[in-house]
Every structure is written in structure tokens, then in C-alpha cells.
Amino acid sequence: MRIRQAVAIGLLALTPALTGCLVHTHTVLKTRLPAVVLNASLDHLLNQVDERYGSVQSMTSSVQMYACTGGAIEGEVKCLNFNGFIIVGKPEEINVILKVPILGSDALDMVSDGKTFKMWMPPRDCAILGSDAASTTQTGMYSLRPAVILDSLLIHGLEPDQDVAMTQDSRTLPDPKTRKDVIVEPDYDIEFLSLPQGHVARSLRVIHIGRSTLLPYQQDIYNSDGKVATKAVYSNYQKFGDISFPTRIEIQRPLDELSLTITISKATFNQKLDEDQFNLDIPATTAHITNMDDPASDSIKDPCAVHAPQSTH
């Protein structure tokens, strides 16, 4: 017994020394909750999504678009900055017009009715057209379809042939007061799923809603293989009459190595649009018109480059 007591006393005596040697302390960012954290049921959030979508029948916006193509697969990234316009009409009509920097002439005019699209690029004297679904062989700007922008701008609600589930998580934001610490904002994540086939349901979309405002801050859209095809991030919400709308939308297409950052400088909602707003008449003098639904053209990554004149030098 005396030996055991002596060992125990010896170990206790060593504790301060061991603690000093083995315990290391370092600072971490301080976190705090937002000043307001709102609660909502799934039904309430779904109703809000439906109301926001239904409140927009048309939109005419002046935008700045920062477009980047490339990445690890290409080994480089190329970015261009455009001013232009995005005009939206329900249910699935959209017209995107981008201007050549400094000159102000049209760089790109693209329209879609939700099923087919046309894209005309005057500087390259080239046009492409086809269905709104891009082939997996097309990357960069040639994988861009108007529906990608439309689905990112206007978030759809629950469809009759879908199931839905909700989970809760959080995101971290820089603290605007200290600029050193972070805010941990709880969120609601609404997942839209296909109807089960047997025991299997497929993820279609996830809307991430911040609980300080109950507004969406991100939407993930999945392809048929369960990979993220489009990620849209929303910020800088502003009021346009009764409509609260994000003025900065970052669209990432990781599989296509394409990203678009759309900054809205001016927007008007629910005004009557011209009847021919979504008609694009490609000039008869256009040198090269490619139908991307043609199997012979579908595998071409850059149809305009294929037809570009070759240098003789």
C-alpha cells in the first residue's frame, strides 16, 4: 500500500510539469450568431419560394457580366467583362445581349423559348442554334444555354412530380463589425427530389436559405448523374417596388469550366415587353451557322473557331 501511495503522490506532483509541456494554446477566429435568427416551417418556406417566383412575370435588367472559361482541365482561365441586358418573360423566355467593351456594339445576342435557343456573335460572323440542352462534349461559352441563366435568376418551387425534404445547417460569413471574426448563420436547406423509382429518389435541386432573412443565398442544380451542374450564389438583395431581388448572382458550371458573375445595376419588373423581344433573326449574310443538334456538329467544341479563316503567315 505504501508503494502505491508513493507512486500516486509522485504522479500528482508531476502533473503541472506534464501539463506545461504537452498543452499548447493558440487563438482561433471568434464566432457569433447573427443578431436575428428566424424560424420557419417547410410549408412556409415553400410558399415563399412560390410567391417570389410568381411575383415576377417579366424583368428587364441592365447588367455587367464577368465571364470566365477554363480551369484545371484546360490548364488556363480566360475572363472577359461585358455590359449588357437580360430580358426575361414568363414562362421560359429569355434574351441575353452582351456588348463589346469600349465599342458598345453587340458581342452576343442569345434568345430561348425554353426548348430551343439561338446565339449570334457578330464579331465572329458566326451563329449557333439548337436545343436548350447542351451536349457533354461542349465546354466553355459554347456550353452556355439561356436556360442556365434563367433557372439561376428565377428559383422554381415544388413541382407536382417532385418530393421535398428539409435539413438544417449553417454557413460562415465575415463579421462586418470586426472584419476579423466570423458570423455563423444557421440555414434551412430544401432538397427537391424526383419521385422514387423503387427505393431510389434522385436529387434535383437544393435551395439554401439563410435564417437571418429567410432569403435564398445559394441554389445547387444536379444533373442526371447526381453531379452539381449549376451552382448559383445570391447576394446584395435590393427592393424593386415590392420585389426583393439579388443584384449579384454568381453562376458556376464546374463540369463545363464556365463561370458567370452577373451584377444588376438597374431592373424593372412586370412591364409589358415588345412582341418580338424574343425573336432573333440571324442575318442572311452571316458566314457560318451551326446547328448543334446535328450529330456532325455536336462534337465540335468551338464551332466558330472551326470556320475562322486560317492565317497565311
**CA–CA dist 14, 10 (Å, integer):** 6
pTM for the full predicted model: 0.85
pLDDT at 180: 76
Does some domain include residue 92? yes
pLDDT at 112: 93
Does some domain include residue 7? no
Number of folded domains that form the chain: 1
Does some domain include residue 218? yes
Does some domain include residue 35? no
Least confident of 42-56, 99-113, 251-265: 99-113
User: Which one, of 133, 58, 130, lies nearest residue 93 by Cα?
Assistant: 58
Burial profile 175-189: b = 16 or more Cβ within 10 angstroms, e = fewer: beeeeeebbebbbbe
Does some domain include residue 129? yes
CB 139 within 8 A of CB 300: no
For residue 83, the enclosing domain spans: 42-306
Q: Return the CATH number at 204.
A: 2.50.20.10
**Which pairing describes strands 106-112 and 116-121: parallel, antiparallel, or unpaired?**
antiparallel
Does some domain include residue 33? no
136 pLDDT tier (thresholds 50, 70, 90): low
Please provide residue 279's backbone torsions phi and psi, each rounded to the nearest 5 degrees: -100, 125
